Amino acid sequence: MKDITRRLASFVAQTQWEDIPQKVRHEAKRALVNYFAVALAGCSDPGISKAVSVYGRFSSGHEAGLIGRGEKTDILNAAALNAMSANVFDFDDTHLPTIIHPTASVAAPLFALAQTLPLDGKQWLLAFVLGVEMECRLGNAVSPGHYQRGWHITSTCGVFGAAAASAKALDLDTANIGWAFGNASAQSSGLVETLGSMSKSISVGNAARNGLLSALLAQDGFAGPERPIEGERGFLRVMSEATDADVDAAFTTLGSEWALLSNTYKPYPCGVVLNPVIEACLGLSATPGFSFADVERVTLRGHPLLRARTDRPNITLGREAQVSAQHSVAVALARGRAGLAEFTDAEVADPLLRAFASRLDFVDDSAYSVEAAQVTITLRSGETMSRRIDAARGSLQAPLADSDLENKLRELAEYGGSSRKPAPLIDALWALESAPDASLPMQLACL
């Protein structure tokens, strides 16, 4: 683990727009279409409204907007609140090798900066690509042990992505970017235990806010340690059991392979390991003659992470439903749908769905990828029905099309109750590369 901090800082400082492959540029725009979709859905969530109220008591300015809302606040609070809105429903993007949700914590601070700095579309997109690259590379270096130990990897690595992106937008040099990483390392936090609660949103918001703060401090000469990432008591050694070989593998292809090309977008508002389960259940529920009342038991066979992340039988909140296999299976089979309306407090309280939890069994099978699962239903008659999904819709093997992402934005904007028109926002996102002012999407998404 030698000179990782300086190597990453130098890469961020030296990489130019011309170095970014066309496919990566396009994927960055796809990530943004998905980002605004999920942020517009989450903007009116009661938890977000509570956070807007509390954070607003301490706002130092009114230069930055909140997606789907009319309030204005300072850039640090805007970064936090917009990241929280995008992540609150667990409907945001997923970098599959790490299960990081990369865009919220990087896009939010960059758009906050774009409302106060002269940034054009290319500058903004370059900073975004580099921010995602940094958080996901660090995620690769600490996976899988980091998450297994209980660290919420989206938050702990997201703060580095936000710092890198903000530092690039501020045009910091290698030394100052290294300081930004050091400042970020002091603020890397988030616990898996908070999933399914409002508290999860705090660390996602903090990743965006504190990453931006880290870069702003570095810009003014606020110096960090020389080796915050690889040092004896640095991020990699303290937050994981990563070996030198793990770290070397995570950074070997820096500049030749890009994290955004391993990014995926969800068709359902749940943990990514539930995507194949829900897809299989929806297919089974559409079978002619199927009746939910006839289901005796359901067996889920999948990657061990499926049970570890989603075996939650006694939930009481819609937030918990997003990471509950028991609810996801029951609602998909009973309703034949799996949108945001099926993951609310009201649906969780439905006695018919709650009674189903005891009928679900898991079978761990490490031969399955996290994008695959098999659902087997045993009927009261003793007959069985089974469906296996090897590559869920929304996975790298079966990605959502650009048109699917556009439709997701339209549907979620309506769900969130925003009066913003989706069409101009969609057009602005696809054209961001040529925009003279990178803040245009925020102008179109805020009231």
In 10 A of CB 214, how many CB atoms? Answer: 30
Question: What is the reported pLDDT for 348?
Answer: 97
Q: What is the pLDDT of residues 222-254, one digit of tens each?
A: 999 999 999 999 999 999 988 888 888 999 999
Domains in the chain, CATH or no CATH each: 4-265+399-445 (1.10.4100.10), 272-389 (3.30.1330.120)
- Model pLDDT, residue 244: 84
Whole-angstrom Cα distance, residue 202 to residue 55?
11
Identity at 106, one-letter amino acid code: V
Q: What does the pLDDT read at residue 1?
A: 66
Q: Is 363 helix (H, G, I), strand (E, B) or coil?
A: strand
Give the number of other CB atoms < 10 A from CB of residue 236: 25
Give the distance, in angstroms, between the CA of residue 351 and the centroid of all CA atoms in the same chain: 31
DSSP 257: B
Specify whether the backbone of 417 is left (phi greater than 0), alpha (psi in -120 to 50) or beta. Answer: left
Pair 369, 303: CB distance under 8 Å: yes
The answer to whether residue 197 scores a pLDDT higher than 90 is no
Name every residue whose Cβ is closer than 8 Å to that of residue 431 and which is 6 or more positions away in sequence: 121
Whole-model pTM over 0.85? yes
Alpha-carbon distance 329 to 298, whole Å? 8
User: Closest by alpha carbon to 128, among 4, 261, 25?
Assistant: 25
Alpha carbon distance 112, 208 (integer Å): 10
- d(CA 377, CA 3) in angstroms, rounded, equals 53
Sign of CA dihedral 320, 321, 325, 327: positive
Q: pLDDT at residue 195 above 90?
A: no
Q: Which two tokens stand for residue 71?
A: 């309030």
Per residue in 140-170, pLDDT (tens digit) is 999 999 998 999 999 999 999 999 999 999 9
Q: What are the backbone angles phi and psi of residue 234, rounded to the nearest 5°?
A: -90, -175
Distances (CA, A) of 117 to 123, 375, 438: 11, 51, 9
CA distance 129 to 122: 10
CA distance 329 to 363: 15
Distance, in Å, from the CA atom of 362 to the CA atom of 215, rounded to the nearest integer, reads 45
Distance of alpha carbon 19 from the chain centroid: 25
Give the Cα separation of 210 and 126 in Å (integer): 20
Closest CA to 200 of 211, 209, 189, 188: 189
pLDDT exceeding 90 applies to what percent of the chain? Answer: 93
Burial class (CB in 10 A: 0-12, 13-18, 19+), 198: middle
pLDDT, tens only, 17-28: 999 999 999 999
- CA 206 to chain centroid, in Å, comes to 14
Bond from prior residue into 144 cis (ω within 30 degrees of 0): yes
Confidence of residue 324 (pLDDT cuts 50, 70, 90): very high
The runs of H, that is alpha helices, within 43-119 are: 46-56, 75-87, 103-114
- Eight-class DSSP state of 399: P
> What phi, psi does 35 have (nearest 5°)?
-60, -50
pLDDT in tens, 371-406: 899 999 999 999 999 999 999 999 999 999 999 999
